[in-house]
Each structure stands twice: as structure tokens, then as C-alpha cells.
Amino acid sequence: MKRLILLGGGHAHVHVLAALQAQALPDCEVVLVSPFERQIYSGMLPGWIAGHYPIEACALDLRQLAARAGVRFVQAEGVALDADAGNLACSDGARLDYDLLSIDTGSRTALEAIAGAAEHALPVRPIESFVGGIESLLVRCREARDHPVAIIGGGVAAVELAFAIHHRLAGEGLSPALSVIGDAGLPLGGLARRLQWKCLSMLAERGIQWHAGSRVVALDGSHAELSDGTRIPAGHALLVTGAGAPDWPAGSGLALDRDGFIRVAATLQSVSHAGVFAAGDVAAYDDPRPKSGVFAVRAGPPLAENLRRAVQGAALTDWQPQKRALYLVATGGRHALGAWGPLGWWGGWVWRWKDHIDRSFMRRFGNPHVG
């Protein structure tokens, strides 16, 4: 009997579990290895912070999904891989041999890029740790109203967090001192220009300071120091910068890109080891694309299909991802910004669209809390 290990409970592997529930793999033991029993859906996280959803509505129960699919669940973290020997070492001391391995562990926040970040910043990844950290941060904001919050990063996730925190605390009668620090001239880099200007206007309307064009180089617990020497008050700092690769692939024998991500072909198969697949943020594609949950979700069905084909010894198929992705950016209240290529929209109707998509996604995978 063959063994397929699913390492990580990311968005793509959620699709794989659903495919296995619909049709099991004959003569194959499937094992899901994840340090967490649940997968927090990043698309709904700002809505939870803003107070629109309970955290249960934003989470998928991996243990339950695995059980429905006939998959053995191992609650542990993969800490080392010998790709040549086909062996995975786990944080619980177990060593698991495999015939096929699929990796969807996500990325990490690169703390080492900013001096003092490990001691003075709350990284957005891993999300499970961030959830506990943001709750503590909100408590501290209520108790010490003079401690400003600096959000480091100017992309979609950073902007959504700024709006969500503002909405949550403003709804409690507080006036949080919030700033967003991005190294680009405008927030939401890469999205439609009119949407960037609209976002800048909305930040200003809420009193959220936008600091542009300079990166954070150091944190000391009270200020963020920028590369141009500017010091910005930062009693609390959230690190929402670009994705960094996990450490463990460096010693795995797998082919990696220059940033340490696992190189895969259009089939999502490792370019160096035919028995290894990767998807989501941990993967480096020949056709580069942003580290985004939008693409991780879309990789799920082709990954599931190619894992099935690999088990059966059939030819693999190429994944042709979409050239453009739809971005729906929550702005705190029941309002959102939307982008599709050069097009941009905003309004309550965009929020309702986003809310429908998010709830439908969670219902599809059996979450009973979305209403």
C-alpha cells in the first residue's frame, strides 16, 4: 500500500481533503500532518477582528475534514525532510516514510528583516498565533489608550487590518492611534490606481496615518525607525510584510528558488523530486504570482487531481492559473473595495459580495457557524 502525506492544512489541502471525501484513493494510506486542528480562513480574519464574525465562523476543522475523508490526522509540525529517502521528521518525534508528499504549509513572516521585530512585533503568520496575539493587543489598546499601533506593510492584508482594528475600537468608543507604514507611494500596491487613491482617502477619513516610501528597519517597543531616519510612534507593531520561506526546506534536498521556496512545475510537482508536490505560498512557480490565498485556493482542485493521477501512475496535467485575480478588500464596516485588473469599485454592495463568497466557501467545507 502506498502512503501519501499531506503536510500542512492550507487552502489547497482543504480542497484535496474534500476530493478524497468524494472519492477515496484505492490502496493508499493518506496522512494529514498539521500543528493545528483548524485552518483559519485568511479572507474572513479582518471581519472577525472588526466584529462581524465569531472566530468559529472563520475556521475549518481539519481533524473533522480528515475523518470524513478517511485520512489519518497527525497533530504535529513537519520539522525536517529527506526528499531523497522519502522521509519526514515531525515535531512529536515521529518519522514518517512516504511514497508521495504534498506540501501546503504556507509561508512565514520574515522577522529577521527588521531589527527588534522578534521582540517587539506581532507577525501575521502563522495565523493561528496571530489570532491569540491580536486579542491580547486589543485588550492592551483598551487599557493603555496612549499606545499607538503601527502596521508595517502597505498591501491588502495590512490595510484590511488597519481598517478592522479601527472599526472594532471605534465601535467601543475609543479613538485608536493607528498608522500604516508602506514602502510604496500608495497603499494597495499593484491594484487599480483609482482604488489606491480611494483607499488613501478612506484611511485619512478615519484618522489612520499613511507613511509612504520608506521601509521600517528597526523596532524598539515604542517607535518604528524608518530607513530615512524617521521615527514613528509604535507602542504596538503588527508585521504584515512579504512572505518568507520556512527554514526546513533548505536542508531537504528539494530544488528551491533564491528565496527558499519550493520550485514546482505547472503540474505542481517538484522540479527535482517526482514524488513531491507543493502549492500555496510555500511553492515557487515557473510563472510567478503573488503570495496570496486567492491563488492557493485555485491550486486546490488541480493539486487534488494530480495527486490522484500520481498515485495511479497516470500522466499529470498542467495547471493554468488565471492571469488576473479578484481582490475584495474589507474596510472595517460593512463596506469593501474591489479590484479586477485595472478596474476598481467600492461600496456596501462590494462587502455583501465578499461576505457571500466567504460564507459560501466555508459552508462548502462543512463549517456550521457561518449562518
Per the listing, cell 521600517 goes with 216
State whether 173 and 120 are in the same domain: yes
Residues 168 and 210 in one domain: yes
Distance CA 47, CA 335 (A): 11
Q: Total structural domains in the chain?
A: 2
- Mean pLDDT, all residues of the chain: 92
327 SS3 class: strand
Q: Please check whether residues 88 and 118 belong to one and the same domain.
A: no
- Sign of the CA dihedral 342, 347, 353, 359? positive
Q: Does one domain contain both 6 and 103?
A: yes
Query: How far is residue 77's CA from residue 248's CA, in Å, rounded to a whole number?
Result: 11
Do 257 and 289 lie in a common domain? yes
Nearest to 108 by CA among 18, 240, 3: 240
180 shares its domain with 221: yes
pTM, 2 dp: 0.92
Are both 167 and 257 inside the same structural domain?
no
Statement to judge: residues 80 and 118 lie in one domain: no
Q: Residue 132 burial (CB < 10 Å; 0-12/13-18/19+)?
A: exposed
Q: pLDDT at position 288, please?
A: 65
Query: Strands 276-278 and 100-103, how do they pair?
Result: parallel
Partners of 31 in the β-ladder: 5, 72
Domain of 140 in residue numbering reads as 109-242
**What CATH number does the domain containing 154 carry?**
3.50.50.60
Co-location of 185 and 282 in the same domain: no
Between 85 and 176, name the one with better pLDDT.
Answer: 85
| Residue 295, pLDDT above cutoff 70 | no
- Final residue in a domain of this structure, among 182, 212, 242: 242
Please indicate, yes or no, if residue 272 is contained in any of the structural domains: yes
Query: Does residue 243 carry a pLDDT above 90?
Result: no
pLDDT digits (tens, 9 = 90+) for 68-119: 999 999 999 999 999 999 999 999 999 999 999 999 998 888 888 899 999 9
